[in-house]
Amino acid sequence: MLINGTPYRSIWRTDEGRVKIIDQTRLPHRFETVQLQTVEDAITAISDMLVRGAPLIGATAAYGVCLGIVGDCSDNRLETVCEGLTAARPTAVNLRWAVQRMQAVLAPLPPVERLAAAWLEAEDINEEDVRANESLGEHGLGLIRKIYEEKNQPDQPVNILTHCNAGWLATVDWGTALAPIYKAHAAGIPVHVWVDETRPRNQGAHLTAWELVGAGIDHHLIVDNSGGHLMQQGQVDLCIVGTDRTAANGDVCNKIGTYLKALAAMDNKVPFYVALPGSTVDWTLDSGDLIPIEERGEDEVLQVFGRQADSGVGLELGQVSIAPEQTRAANPAFDVTPARLVTALITERGVCTASREGLLSLYPESAQP
């Protein structure tokens, strides 16, 4: 995607072979890039959420494996590096998927061949993610176009609600939930996005809004509790969200609060779509109940990060406490939306029902023998 006319991805290798990322903890106020030099840098970038979003975590972990075996490609080192990366965050399955894919390619090779093969495999993982997201964007475009045509009000935009950030910043490029929106905008379909701010970390306010400003797409930021009301008022035509892990039965685990939006959507007969690349499906889990839910630190709830409203061009960034000092907080970072609340899954291979049968119709190679 373009930033001020310059094409960027959320992670990339420079001409000198260095791995660079955008520090997402500083957006939207500062655009800063960071170089990952070691596997520890990659692990910290994932756990401290300089990079976040399921596909991007996987892509970062793939490069993390490369960085981790520079100078020592032994079996022991490979094992240690892969264990460390896998433990960086628990919920998004792409992390485990990418690390296991790297391990499966590298472990059978003689150590001397591993580093070169690792860079190639990591590049493949990154490129595949870009292609998958662009492709699911095309499939999602079809759904948005249909709704636009059914509305039969050419001047009225299609109103789309999204939660958290499942845009290009959450992937290597394009995004998942936002990819169909980018495609619709490019196709000349008027779209307007309701952006949930997404407490506690405000990925909607910080990242999704920033992406949409950059793309010139009409949007409003809303507090997380607004969605149900807007749906009752007929101001939401469809919801599209991402997922950090999709169980084999079509249950989806996404940013905390997604479940409540799906409930409100069902009650108001608003289509609720979930967009994902195949790397986000966990075929080992029969149900979303089994997905580990990350519990993050209390400070994310007790404080908010931002820029002082009156700081002018000085950009004074910082944390502000919003609760009594004695108050404790709980911070489950994800919830599970049961498949019955999901209208359909949008994948790089097409649109399917949120069910085992639906997923297997697109990914038949994942059927158990």
The CB-of-343 to ligand MRU minimum distance in angstroms stands at 16
The CB-of-137 to ligand MRU minimum distance in angstroms stands at 12
State yes or no: residue 52 binds ligand MRU (CB under 6 A): yes
| DSSP β-ladder status, 245-247 and 252-255 | antiparallel
Residue range at the interface with ligand MRU (CB under 6 A); choices 28-36, 73-81, 165-173, 312-320: 165-173
Pick 91 or 159: Cβ nearer ligand MRU: 91
Pick 243 or 249: Cβ nearer ligand MRU: 243
CA 8 to chain centre: 17
Residue range at the interface with ligand MRU (CB under 6 A); choices 11-19, 236-244, 311-319, 323-331: 236-244
H or E segment and range at residue 82: helix 75-86
The CB-of-193 to ligand MRU minimum distance in angstroms stands at 14
| Residue showing the smallest CB distance to ligand MRU in the complex | 242
Pick 106 or 209: Cβ nearer ligand MRU: 209
Q: Which segments within 37-171 are labelled E, that is strand?
A: 158-162
Spatial distance between the Cα atoms of 2 and 346, rounded to a whole number of angstroms = 24
Check if the beta carbon of residue 256 is closer than 8 Å to that of residue 333.
yes
Pick 164 or 264: Cβ nearer ligand MRU: 164
State yes or no: residue 254 binds ligand MRU (CB under 6 A): yes
Residue range at the interface with ligand MRU (CB under 6 A); choices 99-107, 141-149, 162-170, 353-361: 162-170
Pick 185 or 255: Cβ nearer ligand MRU: 255
Structure token digits, residue 74: 């032994």
Spatial distance between the Cα atoms of 175 and 222, rounded to a whole number of angstroms = 21
From residue 138, alpha-carbon distances to 178, 182, 353 in Å are 11, 10, 17
Among 164, 248, 291, 359, binds ligand MRU (CB under 6 A): 164
The CB-of-106 to ligand MRU minimum distance in angstroms stands at 26
Q: What residues does 336 pair with on adjacent strands? A: 253
State yes or no: residue 166 binds ligand MRU (CB under 6 A): yes
Give the binding-site size for ligand MRU (rule: CB under 6 A): 18
Compute the 3-state secondary structure of the chain and give helix, strand, coil in percent, each to the nearest 5.
45, 20, 35
Spatial distance between the Cα atoms of 85 and 70, rounded to a whole number of angstroms = 15
Identify which of 75, 58, 29, 33 has the alpha carbon closest to the alpha carbon of residue 128: 58
Is the preceding omega at residue 200 within 30 degrees of 0, hence cis? yes
The CB-of-239 to ligand MRU minimum distance in angstroms stands at 12
For residue 182, count CB atoms less than 10 angstroms from its CB and return exposed for 0-12, middle for 13-18, buried for 19 or more.
buried
Handedness of CA 227, 230, 234, 238 (dihedral sign): negative
The CB-of-192 to ligand MRU minimum distance in angstroms stands at 20
Within 169-228, the residues that bind ligand MRU by CB under 6 A are: 170-171, 176, 203
Spatial distance between the Cα atoms of 150 and 144, rounded to a whole number of angstroms = 10
Is the preceding omega at residue 28 within 30 degrees of 0, hence cis? yes
Active-site residue flag, 244: yes
Active-site entry in 41, 237, 244, 282:
244
Pick 48 or 218: Cβ nearer ligand MRU: 48
Pick 171 or 337: Cβ nearer ligand MRU: 171
Residue range at the interface with ligand MRU (CB under 6 A); choices 6-14, 50-58, 69-77, 315-323: 50-58
State yes or no: residue 39 binds ligand MRU (CB under 6 A): no
Identify which of 173, 89, 177, 99 has the alpha carbon closest to the alpha carbon of residue 129: 173
Residues annotated as catalytic (active site), given as ranges: 244
Q: Which residues contact ligand MRU (rule: CB under 6 A)?
A: 52-55, 164-166, 170-171, 176, 203, 241-244, 254-255, 333
